[in-house]
Structure 1
Amino acid sequence: MSDSGIGMLLGHLSGNLLWLWFIGAFVLGAVLVYGVAKAGRLRRRERAQLDRNTEARQRQEDPYKRPT
């Protein structure tokens, strides 16, 4: 019995397992893209709250810093 095609390149790894790897990589990539896209967008109210919290934290750490 001789190996040919994908079996020859991958040894005893089956083609089905290879497809599962590709599907898993695709799903993982899709989840990462969704997370990055979702994390990069803040609503106006959320952005304003984040800015206020940042300024308060900076004043707390350096009370002599001039407000901008």
Structure 2
Amino acid sequence: MGNSGVGMLLGDVSVTALWMWFIGAFILGGAILYGVLRAGRLRRSEREQLDRNTEAAQRRDDPQKRAGR
């Protein structure tokens, strides 16, 4: 009579596994949230450098393309 609730339905090992799933999902969700919040935050100088590099790569790949906007 020690088991109750989910433990009564699934057994002790399954309850532990279920908690591990919840903890793992929480940690994975936190890591994804951190990545989403961190992504796309470039300083102005980093953004300008990225734009210059992109334009240079486009000119190198297709010299017929007009440079600039």
Fold shared, TM-score > 0.5 on shorter chain: yes
Runs of 5+ in structure 2 lacking a partner? none
TM-score (norm 1): 0.77
- C-alpha distance in 1, partners of 2:10/2:17? 11
Structure 1 vs Structure 2 CA RMSD: 2.2
| CA deviation profile, 1:18-65 (whole Å, cap 9, x unmatched) | 222211211110011101111121111111011000000000011111
Matches within 5 A, 1:25-36: 25-36=25-36
Name the TM-score, length of structure 2 as normaliser: 0.76
1:55 corresponds in structure 2 to 55
Shift in Å, 1:4:
5.0
Percent of pairs with identical residues: 66
* Mapping for residues 1-68 of structure 1, pairs under 5 Å: 5-11=5-11, 13-67=13-67, 68=69
Q: Which runs of 4+ in 1 moved over 6 A?
A: none
Using CA pairs under 8 Å that are at least 6 residues apart, name the structure with larger relative contact order, 1 or 2: 2
Cα separation, 2, equivalents of 1:9 and 1:57:
61
